[in-house]
Amino acid sequence: MERNGEYDIIGWFDEVAETADSVQTQTLSQILRLNYGVEYLKKWFRDINIQEMEENALESLFTSLVPLASHADLEHYIQRIADGDDAPLLTQEAITNLSLSSGTTEGRQKFVPFTRHSSKTTLQIFKLAAAYRSRIYPIREGGRILELIYSSKQFKTKGGLTVGTATTHYYASEEFKIKQEQTKSFTCSPEAVISSGDYNQSTYCHLLLGLHFRDEVEFITSTFAYSIVQAFRSFEELWREICDDIREGSLSSRITITKVRNAVLDIISPNPCLASRIASTCEELEEKDWFCMIPKLWPNAKYVYSIMTGSMQPYLRKLRHYAGNLPLVSADYGSTESWIGVNVDPSSPPEKVTFAVMPNFSYFEFIPLHRQSQQNSNSNTDDFIEEDPVPLSQVKLGQEYEIVLTTFTGLYRYRLGDVVEVAGFHKKIPKLNFICRRKLILTVNIDKNTEKDLQLVVERGSQALSKSKAELVDFTSHADAAKQPGHYVIYWEINGEVEERVLRECCREMDASFVDHGYVVSRRTNSIGPLELCIVEKGTFKKILEHFIRNGAALSQFKIPRCTSNQVLLKILDASTIKRFRSTAYGQEL
C-alpha cells in the first residue's frame, strides 16, 4: 500500500484488521497447504486431500481432527529434525535453524523451529511498531539507536542445524540489515559487538559507542527491560573507564576479543571535549543516585523502548528512575514460537499496554479460561476451568484466554501457556492484555500461585523498603517441601541498608499478602509453614544470569526465573544468603 510514494504499513495493517476473520482463515489454509503431507499432519488428516478444499471447510476440519498439543507432544519430531532426519516431519520447507526459547519461565530450554518466515515476520512487526511510534514520537531519519542487544552462542546439532535464540538468528539475518536501512535508523554498535558472545564486553562497548554517538541517539532499546536496567547498573560502575576511552580514543583492556576491539577502535577517535562533558554529567548524576541518567546523557533521545510487561514489570521502577520524564514505550508481544501482537498505542503507559494480534503471522485460537471460585477449587493443576478453544473472530471483551498457535514453522494447535485478556479491539482484531504464564510456580499443598501472584506479593512486601531508601534489585522463590510442613522461600537482593525490624515486617507482609484460598487455609492450619525471606548478598542475581548465559541463554531474551527448584540455582542462592527471616503470627497484626 502506497501513500505519498512511500509504503504505508499502517494503512496495510488497518486493511488486514478490517478483514481479520478471513485473513485468519486464509493464513491457516496457507499453512496447511504449504505443509500438506508432512508426517505430523498425515497422522490426523490421513488420506484426506485438503489441497482443493474450500478454506472455511478446511478450518473446521483442522480444528476437529488435529488435537491441541504441548511442546512435549512435538519434542520427538523436533529431536528427529535436530538429529538430521530430512523427511518432511513438521514442514515441507527444510528447517535449518532451531531456536532456544529462553526456558527461564518453563525451567528448561526448548527447541523451536526457526525459518526465513520467522525473520520476515520480525522485520514486519518491527516496521509496523516503528510506524506507530513515529506518529507520536517522530525521530530523525539517519539517526542512531542505542540497542542493548546480544546474540547468544550458536552451536550445531548432530544433524548440522544451527541452534541459537530466536533473536540471535534474527540479528544474523538479512532482515536485520534491511530493518536498519528501511527504517533509516542505525544501531550504534557493529555486528561484532552484538555477537561477541561475552555479554559484559558487549555491554561495555554498547555504552561506549552509545556515548560516542550520543547526539545522534534517537531512542534507547532492548528486547526485554531487564537488559536496559542491567546495562545502566553496570554503567554506574564503568563510567570513569568509558570516559577515559572516549578521551583517548582507546579501548579498555577488559575488552579482550580481537574482532570486537578492531570493530570498536575503527569507529572511535580521541574526543577529550565529549569525555569531559560526560564526566561532569556523571559526577552530578552520581550525587543524585543516577536519577534521570538517560535524558541527561542522551539529550536527543525521544523515548525508551522495550518489553516492560509481564515478568519485566518489577524492573519498571528502576527504569523510570533512569528515564526521568522520558516516555517509556512498551514493546510488542512475541515468543520464540511466533510473534503475537503489536503495540498500536505507544503512548499508553506500560501498566496499561495492549497488543493487537497480527492475524497474518500465525493462526490463533483462544481457550476461554474461567477462574474457579477459590473455595471450590480442588484440582491440583491451576485455578482455571477451560472451555473449547474459539477462533479469533469469536473472542469476547473482558474474557481471559490461553493462546493456541498454528505456525508456518510447523507448530499445530500448540498451547503457548500464556494467559491473556481481551482488553479491546483494533477494528476486528482483539487487543490483548498480557496476564501471566499459566503454569503455577508456587505450590506445596492445595495452594496455587502464579508468577503474577508472587509479583504482587513481592510488590506489597517491598513497599517498606523505599522508606529506608533501599531498593529491591531482584527476587526469586522456591517452594520448599523437603520438610513437613512445606513452606515458601523468597529470596531478595537489596541495594541499600535496611534494619532487621523492617525486613521482618516485609516477610510478615508477604506471608499475609497471598490471597490464594489454598494458601490462606493451609497457613491457618499450619499445613504450610511460615514464609521464609532470605536476603542474598549483592551480585547474587548477576551470578544467576551468568549461570544461564554459560548454559546457552542470551541476555536479550533473559528472564530471571521467579521460582526455582534447580539445584544449581538453589546452591548459589543458599550460599549467598546473608540473613534469614521467618514470618510469625500469621493472620494477626504484630
Nearest by Cα to 61 from 106, 94, 25: 25
From residue 57, how far is each of 51, 54, 75, 99, 361 by CA, in Å? 12, 5, 29, 33, 21
Q: Is 119 in the site for ligand AMP (CB under 6 A)?
A: no
Binding mask 551-590 for ligand AMP (x = CB under 6 A): ------x---------------------------------
In sequence order, the β-bridge partners of residue 418 are 437
Closest CB 177 distance from ligand AMP, rounded Å: 22
Asked if 149 and 167 touch (Cβ cutoff 8 Å), the reply is yes
Q: Is 336 in the site for ligand AMP (CB under 6 A)?
A: yes
- Helix 567-576, helix 540-550: angle, nearest 10: 160
HSE-CB at 252 with a 13 A cutoff on CA atoms is: 19
Q: What is the dihedral of CA 545, 546, 547, 552, to 10 degrees?
A: 90
Asked if 194 and 150 touch (Cβ cutoff 8 Å), the reply is yes
Cα separation, 521 vs 519, whole angstroms: 6
Closest CB 435 distance from ligand AMP, rounded Å: 9
Binding segment toward ligand AMP, per CB under 6 A, in 59-67, 98-106, 522-530, 542-550: 98-106
* Closest to ligand AMP by CB, 204 or 303: 303
Q: Is 476 in the site for ligand AMP (CB under 6 A)?
A: no
Binding mask 379-418 for ligand AMP (x = CB under 6 A): -------------------------------------x-x
Closest CB 453 distance from ligand AMP, rounded Å: 15
User: Helices (H), strands (E): how many in the chain?
Assistant: 21, 26
Cα separation, 533 vs 95, whole angstroms: 46
* Closest to ligand AMP by CB, 204 or 333: 333
Closest CB 307 distance from ligand AMP, rounded Å: 4
Closest CB 416 distance from ligand AMP, rounded Å: 6
Residue type, 157: T
397: Cβ–Cβ under 8 A, 6 or more apart, which residues? 422, 423, 424, 425
Question: 3-state class of 421 per DSSP?
Answer: strand
User: Phi and psi for 355 in degrees, rounded to 5?
Assistant: -125, 120
Binding mask 54-93 for ligand AMP (x = CB under 6 A): ----------------------------------------
Q: Is 309 in the site for ligand AMP (CB under 6 A)?
A: yes
Q: Is 101 in the site for ligand AMP (CB under 6 A)?
A: yes
| Shortest-Cβ-distance residue relative to ligand AMP | 310
* Closest to ligand AMP by CB, 350 or 518: 350
Binding segment toward ligand AMP, per CB under 6 A, in 99-107, 155-163, 391-399, 562-570: 99-107
Closest CB 315 distance from ligand AMP, rounded Å: 12
In the range 539-558, which residues lie near ligand AMP by CB under 6 A?
557
Closest CB 407 distance from ligand AMP, rounded Å: 13
* Closest to ligand AMP by CB, 104 or 576: 104
From residue 220, how far is each of 114, 224, 341 by CA, in Å? 27, 12, 21
Closest CB 557 distance from ligand AMP, rounded Å: 4
Q: Is 335 in the site for ligand AMP (CB under 6 A)?
A: yes
In the range 482-501, which residues lie near ligand AMP by CB under 6 A?
none
* Closest to ligand AMP by CB, 164 or 310: 310
Asked if 79 and 422 touch (Cβ cutoff 8 Å), the reply is no
Residue type, 91: T
83: Cβ–Cβ under 8 A, 6 or more apart, which residues? 157, 158, 159
Closest CB 574 distance from ligand AMP, rounded Å: 26
In the range 24-43, which residues lie near ligand AMP by CB under 6 A?
none
Instruction: Extract the C-alpha cell encoding 146.
Output: 542505542
Binding segment toward ligand AMP, per CB under 6 A, in 101-109, 115-123, 148-156, 471-479: 101-109
| Binds ligand AMP (CB under 6 A): choice among 434, 475, 541, 581 | 434
* Closest to ligand AMP by CB, 38 or 369: 369
* HEC letters along 462-528: CHHHHHCCCEEEEEEEEEECCCCCEEEEEEEEEECCCCHHHHHHHHHHHHHHCCCHHHHHHHHCCCE
* Closest to ligand AMP by CB, 359 or 518: 359
* Closest to ligand AMP by CB, 171 or 235: 171
User: Phi and psi for 539 in degrees, rounded to 5?
Assistant: 95, -5
- Helix 174-182, helix 116-136: angle, nearest 10: 20
- Helix 225-248, helix 272-287: angle, nearest 10: 130
Closest CB 515 distance from ligand AMP, rounded Å: 22
* Closest to ligand AMP by CB, 298 or 475: 475
User: Phi and psi for 218 in degrees, rounded to 5?
Assistant: -95, -30
Question: 3-state class of 17 per DSSP?
Answer: helix
* Closest to ligand AMP by CB, 353 or 503: 353
Closest CB 104 distance from ligand AMP, rounded Å: 7
Residues touching ligand AMP, count (CB under 6 A): 15
Residue type, 280: S
In the range 170-199, which residues lie near ligand AMP by CB under 6 A?
none
Closest CB 321 distance from ligand AMP, rounded Å: 21
Q: Is 310 in the site for ligand AMP (CB under 6 A)?
A: yes
Nearest by Cα to 419 from 445, 383, 394: 383
**Which residues would be at the binding site for ligand AMP (CB under 6 A)?**
101-102, 105, 307, 309-310, 333-336, 416, 418, 434, 437, 557
